[in-house]
Amino acid sequence: MRKLGYITAKDLLVVAKDKGAWMTLLVTPLVVIVVVSFALSPVYKGGSLHATLLVTNHDAGGMGKQLTASLAARPNITIQAASDRESETLKQGGNSFGLALVIPKDFSARVQAGQSTQLQVYEDPNSTTSAPFLKGMIDGAVNRFSAVEVAAKVAVAEAVKQNQRADAAAVAGDATAAASAQMSNQPIQAKEQPASGARQLNTFDIETPGFAVMFLLFGVMIGAEGLLEERDKGTLGRLLVAPVSKASIIGGKLVAQFIVSIIQITLLFAVGHFVFSMDIGNTLAGLALMLVATAFTATSFGILLAALTKTRRQASSIGILAILLMSALGGSWWPLDIVPAFMRKLGHLSMNAWALDGIKGIIIQGQGFSDILLPAGVLFIYGSVCFLIGLKMFKLRGP
C-alpha cells in the first residue's frame, strides 16, 4: 500500500503542476456549460419550454382578440404582433420564429353565425421543438372556439325546432355571445402545479450533469495518454526493477486519476450550484455517492482505454470516438426520454446513461438516497469490470 501511495502522490504532483491539464479539466467544461445554458435560456424558462408566436390579426370583431388573449394567458407563450409578410416568412427584426398564426378578417362573423372558419398557420419544418409546442397550444385554443361554434349551431337548431319563426341569426348571435362569455370563466378547469418532489429548474440543472460526465471522460482519456507516454519512455518498465507489483503501479495510477476526477466533477457542480444556482437535490449523500461512482467508472474506463491501445495517438482517436458515441447515446447531449425506446436501451450500455439516471434523478426528479442505489451499483460493477480487464491486458513495457 505504501508503494501504491508513493505512485499516487507522484502522479498528483505532476497533474497539479500542469496548467494545460487544468484548462482541459475545468476551464473548457465550464465555458461549454455556460455557453450552452445561456444559449438555451430563451427556450427553457423555469425548466419548461418557452416560445414566441407571431400573430397577424385581421379580425374585425372581438373573437380574434379573444383568441390572441387566450394564447397570451399561457405563461410559456409570448405573443408578438406581425405583418402578413413577417408571418409568411417567420422573420421579424432579424429573428426567425417557429410558428405564425394569421386570423382572417371574418373570423368573428363566421363564428357568431355558427359557420366554419379557418385559421392560417405558417410553420418552420426545421423547428422540432417550439413549432410542435405552439401548434398544441393553438389547437387547444381553437377547440374552445369550435365549442362556441357548435353551441351556436345547436341553439339555432333547437330554436327553429321549437319555433319556426325564430330568427336564426339572432339566436346564433345570442348563443355565441353566451358561450364566448363562458370561455373566460370555464366551469371545468385544469389547475397546474408541480408534481410532488418536482422542482423549478433552470438550464444549468438540465445541462451541467451531461456535459460534466462527458468532460470527465475526456479528462481520463488524457490520463490514459499520459500512462502510454510513460510506458513509451520506459518509466513504467524501470519501476519493475524495484520490488513494485504491476497491481501497485496501475492501482496508484488509478487512485491518482480517481482523485483528479473527483476534484474535477465536484468543482463543476460546485460552480454550477454557487454561481449559477443549480439545484443539487435533497440528498447530498446520494449526490456524493453518484459523483464517486461516476468518477470511479470513468477512471477505470481510462485504464481500459490505455490497455486496448498501443500509442497515444490511438488512445486519442479511439477515445474521442468512444466518448462522443457514449455521450450521444447516453444522454449527455439530450434527454434520453426524447429518443426511441431501442436507443434508450442501447444508451444504457454506456456509463453516461447510468450516471445521468442517478444524478438527474436527484437534481431534477427529487429522488432520495435509496432511489439511486441501482445506478450507483451498476456504475461500480461497470468500473470494476473495466479496471480488471485493463489491469490484466495492460503491458508496462511497450511492444
pLDDT, tens digit (0-9, with 9 covering 90-100), for 13-70: 766 676 666 677 777 888 888 887 776 665 555 445 678 899 999 998 777 887 888 8
- φ and ψ at residue 120, rounded to 5 degrees: -105, 125
pTM: 0.66
User: What is the grid cell recorded at 164?
Assistant: 319556426
Amino acid (1-letter code) at residue 274: F
Average pLDDT over residues 306-335: 89
- Cβ within 8 Å of residue 346, ≥6 positions away: 329
CA angle 169, 173, 178 (to 5 degrees): 150
* Edge-to-edge order in the sheet of strand 51-57: 77-81, 51-57, 99-103, 120-123
Among 169-178, 212-221, 272-281, the least confident range: 169-178
* The pLDDT of residue 177 is above 70: no
Question: What residue type is assigned to position 172 of the chain?
Answer: A
Kindly tell me if the per-residue pLDDT of 152 is higher than 50: yes
What is the C-alpha separation between 4 and 244, in angstroms, rounded? 9
The CA distance from 214 to 204, in Å, is 15
Q: Is the pLDDT of residue 229 over 90?
A: no
User: In the predicted model, what is the mean pLDDT of residues 388-398?
Assistant: 78
Is the pLDDT reported for residue 157 higher than 70? no
Residue 96: beta bridge partners? 91
Q: What is the pLDDT of residue 286?
A: 93
CA 74, CA 390: separation in Å to the nearest integer? Answer: 55
Cell of 97: 420564429
* CA–CA separation, 364 and 209 (whole Å): 10
Q: Which residue has the cell 390579426?
A: 57
Q: Higher confidence at residue 113 or residue 139? A: 139
More confidently predicted of 395 and 290: 290
Separation CA 323–CA 332 (nearest Å)? 10
Spatial distance between the Cα atoms of 353 and 351, rounded to a whole number of angstroms: 6
HEC secondary structure over the chain: CHHHHHHHHHHHHHHHHCHHHHHHHHHHHHHHHHHHHHHHCCCEECCEECEEEEEEECCCCCHHHHHHHHHHCCCCEEEEECCHHHHHHCEECCEECCEEEEECCCHHHHHHCCCCCCCEEEECCCCCCHHHHHHHHHHHHHHHHHHHHHHHHHHHHHHHHHCCCCCHHHHHHHHHHHHHHHHCCCCCCCCCCCCCCCCCCCHHHHHHHHHHHHHHHHHHHHHHHHHHHHHHHCHHHHHCCCCCCHHHHHHHHHHHHHHHHHHHHHHHHHHHHHCCCCCCCCCHHHHHHHHHHHHHHHHHHHHHHHHHCCCHHHHHHHHHHHHHHHHHHHCCCCCHHHCCHHHHHHHCCCHHHHHHHHHHHHHCCCCCHHHHHHHHHHHHHHHHHHHHHHHHHCCCCCC
Domains with residue ranges and CATH for the chain: 2-41+200-393 (no CATH), 48-183 (3.40.1710)
pLDDT in tens, 351-372: 999 999 999 999 888 888 999 9
Question: What is the mean pLDDT of the segment spanning 269-276?
Answer: 86
Return the pLDDT at 199.
58
The predicted structure's pLDDT at residue 304: 92
Q: What is the mean pLDDT of residues 123-133?
A: 76
Distance of CA 398 to the CA centre of its chain: 42
The residues, any chain, with a CB within 8 Å of residue 10's CB and separated by 6 or more, are 252, 256
Q: Cα separation of 80 and 74, whole Å?
A: 14
Q: Please report, rounded to a whole number, the percentage of residues in the chain having pLDDT higher than 90.
A: 25
Strand partners, 44: 49
Mean pLDDT to the nearest integer, 278-294: 91
Per-residue confidence band for 336, with pLDDT thresholds at 50, 70 and 90: confident
Distance CA 119, CA 211 (A): 42
Mean pLDDT of the chain: 79
Distance CA 203, CA 46 (A): 8
Residue 299 clears pLDDT 60, i.e. is over it: yes
